[in-house]
Amino acid sequence: MIYLDNAATSYPKPERVVRKVEYVLKEVGGNPGRGAHRLSLYASRTVFSARESLARLLKIKDASRIAFTKNATEGINTVLKGFLRRGDHVIATSFEHNSVARTLRSLEQEGVWVTKIRGSKRIDLVEPQDVAAAITQRTRLVCLVHASNVIGTIQPVAELGEFLKGEDIPLMVDGAQTVGLIGVYPEEMNIDILVGTGHKALYGPQGTGFVYIREGLEVDPLIDGGAAEGDHLFEMPERLETGTLNTPGIGGLDEGVEFILEEGLARIRHHEKELVGYLLEELGRIRGVTIVGPMNADQRVSLVSFTMDGVAPEEMGKLLDERFSIMVRCGTHCAPDAHRTVGTYPAGSIRVSPGYFNRIHDVEEFVRAVVSIRKEIED
């Protein structure tokens, strides 16, 4: 089996992640922040350690500005619904994931004004002038996906953050496809709010995610309840961490982050860029294949979406799985707006996303399989 669907969830996980989840379940066991006995304290230390590790990776000085969530979707809902109010204006892109697009659609029903933009020079690349053209006196937030899970283009977040700082408008970034793969540093890049997931490039278990909110911004919690009364509940991170946390998952996430810190982002990025570069070059040679997004591996994250004449994406995925035991993602990838933007809606695309544990042999086998299917269609 060849797994090339890391943009959906990374697999396999580092062995240390698996061992840590097992350790927390077997040896820690307690509920963090819900008692003074030793197992509860051990659980609290597990969560604290993960928060500190993530803060080191993101170069955040105050780790308490990071709150854990069960995934990026929960984090996005928490921020958008807890920050925006009736009459507010929010700017987003035309290639957001449904976690943003559907949440904004819901907020529109409550009186929030939404503007979706795309790049004026390249539809897949949003620059400061594109955002500037959409700003109004009521603009309260700019929401930007750092890299679309369909197109893969890395957006100029630091440049946009610098521009919006001058406009005194907060920037929220969806880092689901970038955190753990490239350097994402909120305090250096003027990112006011960063949402990420644990189970993709951070190598953590599913059911883990986080929200970073800079000091000075307040977001109301998505749900109420949880711990005992106290002023600390109105402060980060407890403000957004309602109820019992996924301690085993967060422990595993801690190990995933430590794995990245030890391996080094540069090494991980270099390896994945080599695999993506090979895919772009070889897929580009196959007749009938149309690649979505930039042809330069430096400009994209570790995913390549494409279509092929004569076969629907879903059928392609089925053939790759059943005949070649190759796992990729096919369809609209929970991001129909992105497909509308690049012209691949409603069928979607075939998305191949190699990870750090893939080798060149894996992508070579994938290309050979695509060529084989292409020949079969032509015959």
Tens digits of residue pLDDT in 23-59: 999 999 889 987 789 899 999 999 999 999 999 999 9
Structural domains in the chain?
A: 15-263 (3.40.640.10), 264-378 (3.90.1150.10)
- Number of Cβ atoms within 10 Å of the Cβ of 38: 10
Q: How far apart are CA 129 and CA 65, in angstroms?
A: 30
- Per residue in 126-142, pLDDT (tens digit) is 999 999 999 999 999 99
Q: Is 327 helix (H, G, I), strand (E, B) or coil?
A: strand
> What's the confidence (pLDDT) of residue 310?
94
Exposed e or buried b per residue across 340-357, where buried means at least 16 C-beta atoms within 10 angstroms of its C-beta:
ebbebeeebbbbbbbbbe
Instruction: Quote the pLDDT of residue 224.
Output: 85
Report strand pairing: 139-145 vs 113-117.
Answer: unpaired
User: Which candidate, 353, 180, 179, 177, places its Cα nearest to that of 264?
Assistant: 180
Q: Which value, to the nearest 10 degrees, does the dihedral of the CA atoms of residues 282, 313, 116, 167 take?
A: -40
Give the closest residue to 124 by CA, choosing from 289, 365, 340, 270: 340
Question: pLDDT tens digits for 158-205?
Answer: 999 999 999 999 999 999 999 999 999 999 999 999 999 999 999 999
What's the whole-model pTM score? 0.96
| pLDDT score recorded for residue 36 | 84
Query: Cβ of 298: how many Cβ atoms within 10 Å?
Result: 10
pLDDT at 17: 98
| pLDDT recorded at residue 29 | 85
Rounded to whole angstroms, the Cα distance separating 253 from 207 reads 10
For 238-273, the pLDDT digits (tens) are 999 989 999 999 999 999 999 999 999 999 999 999
Percent of the chain with pLDDT over 70: 98
